[in-house]
Chains A and B, each alone.
Chain A
Amino acid sequence: MSTTVWLIPFFPLLGTLLNALFGRWIGRHAHWIAVPSNGLSFLASCAVFLSVGRGETFTGDLFPWIQAGAFKTAVTALVDPLSAVMLLVVTGVGFLIHVYSVGYMHGDPGYARFFTYLNLFVFSMVMLVLAGNFLVLYVFWEAVGLCSYLLIGFWYQRKAAADAGKKAFIVNRVGDFGFGLGVMYLWVALGTLDYSEVFAKVGTLSPETATVIALLLFAGACGKSAQLPLHTWLPDAMEGPTPVSALIHAATMVTAGIYLVARSHVLFERSGVALDVVAWVGGLTALFAATIGLAQTDIKRVLAYSTISQLGYMFAGVGVGAYAAAIFHLVTHAFFKALLFLGAGSVIHGLGGEQDLRKMGGLAPRMVTTTVTFFVGAAGLAGLPPLAGFFSKDEILASAYHAGRPWLWALLLLGAFLTAVYISRAFILAFRGAPRMSQEVARHIHESPRVMTAPLGILALLTAVAGVAIGIPSAHGTAFARFLSPVFPLAEEAGHAGLSALTLLVLSVIAAVAGVLLAWLIYDSRPVNAEAIGRPRNWLHALLLRKYYVDELYDFLFVRPLVRVAGFCARAFDLGFVDGIVNGVGRLVVGWAGAMRLVQTGYVMNYALATLLGAVVIVAFFLSR
């Protein structure tokens, strides 16, 4: 198994190197390297997954990495059921999206560059998941952030894309700063960064210390998984190519925060307070983002806010201790959200780059496969039984309720209702009703090529069956939870006070169906006035349309003061003070150097004299001691 484990990151790395070094000559054949390398990585992941299924785990050092005094770190890998599941998701969904990209990115001048980045991302993400200690995790945490930056700004000629890339990077840095501090504090407190040792020693930490560390780590998770208050970068990240949005900003990278919290759940449990914070941040984000999703007019932005909201669900699940349920939602979300994004990409592709829902409509007869698969994805997101999203979301809701947090549950239920509304709205606006695009665009509408629709079909199938296959709750938890039980012990199935599991189930179905019906009433039962959708009707609508003015608030609170301070520093402080000192020191040194040169006369007598004087001083020194 050890060899197979290292093969998983090896293939994407090889692909990256080949495309990076020879991309200039490979050009439009880059996918012949990128796609197979990812596919092989997926096969290796499957093999590892099967071994893990037989109860094997693996830890091993690749090589000793840093040695500085007592600080020793190796590049360590850890494979347990949790990482095996993540590996499967990353490489599996990654593979499908690679295939899809062959069609989507066809003819782009940066074709080889795109696949280089994509492979690099898969490599980094795999290493992040495989990491066996916090330092390696941190390094690849930053590496995926870098890939995300490169891919958001892939079309860097567009100012919006370049800005979005920078924004994503900077906002992430805010969270990562906390993460970095957390890792350092962990080292100071425990003297080790290895998962196994850290989690074994967590008991020795005081709850207060554990809280501080856990919250610092959570700050990083918030940034990466776009939770309040660091969510602003994700919608802007939609400036990147759509396959990137699907892979990085929906299915895999943004779930790294969930993975981090789930992986270090022992630490969070030691604190207790930290878990509460995680749960409430998650719940609030879930509702908050869902409300914004209601008003957006850009199809990818609707999906982006939906992603933020769904990540909120996962955090809420982790926060109430339903780790397996949260990871299960992570997996199903990866399926249906990747599906939705790829479907949206297919629509955008077919409409020649149009992303505005107001200029779509009536696409169903023209793009049958896309419509059907998008419908499956939307239903999955809305939580309609028996699709995967229904089972996973319901698990989280039930866990929240049974964990004794009815308010959190209510919040999430309301969020589920709104989810159903906005995704139905998006589906209806895009595929049903009368076409609203211009004649020119309408004439060119076409179904996407097979290489793009095939991944859609596979993801739709997964969305449809995953829930029934592994997500049906039983007395011993779901099949999925049992697989993860070595990492997350199964909860005691105690008798719960209050509403029974069945009642909760019915309530969430009702919420989902009600949401769909409401959207149908508003948008589908009568013709849509496209003009009216994007115009603010009242203050509430305006608030949602402008995303609660969070970007404006941050701009006012942080960006502009910073720019002003920076400007001041650059002019007054830097030019006057720092440069003054630096130039002064420079002049001093150069002047001194010139003076010293005079000593270097070139006369042997002088040199000999210096030697003699030196000898006298040394001898005098020894005699005086």
Chain B
Amino acid sequence: MEYVTILMVFGIALLVGGAMIGLPTLLAPRRATAVKAEPFECGKDLLALPEGRFAIKFSTVAIFFIIFDIEVMLIFPWAVQVRPLGWPGYLAMLVFLGILMLGFLYMWKKGGLEWD
């Protein structure tokens, strides 16, 4: 039963969110013009269409980010337990970071971080 409050929070969140989106569609007047249909209402012209191609470099960087992000995640549980693990644990983490650094260096040196 103690989860009921959490459920209530979800419920209220849904209600408020739904109301915020729903009410304007019911109440607000709609007058569509060409300018209003543009992505940027400030008036800045588009450089490219959103559904078009984009550089593979974005995804490479994204992959790099995910890899290092996930690996660094290991440091959090380790940090919690650092005292009980003692020196062996410290050394193991050094080795781990060393391997990570090696990979990072390799990526760097091979030009993975160069945009052009």
Task: Please determine if A and B sit in direct contact within the complex, based on CB atoms under 8 angstroms apart.
Answer: no
Chain A residues proximal to chain B, CB less than 8 Å = none
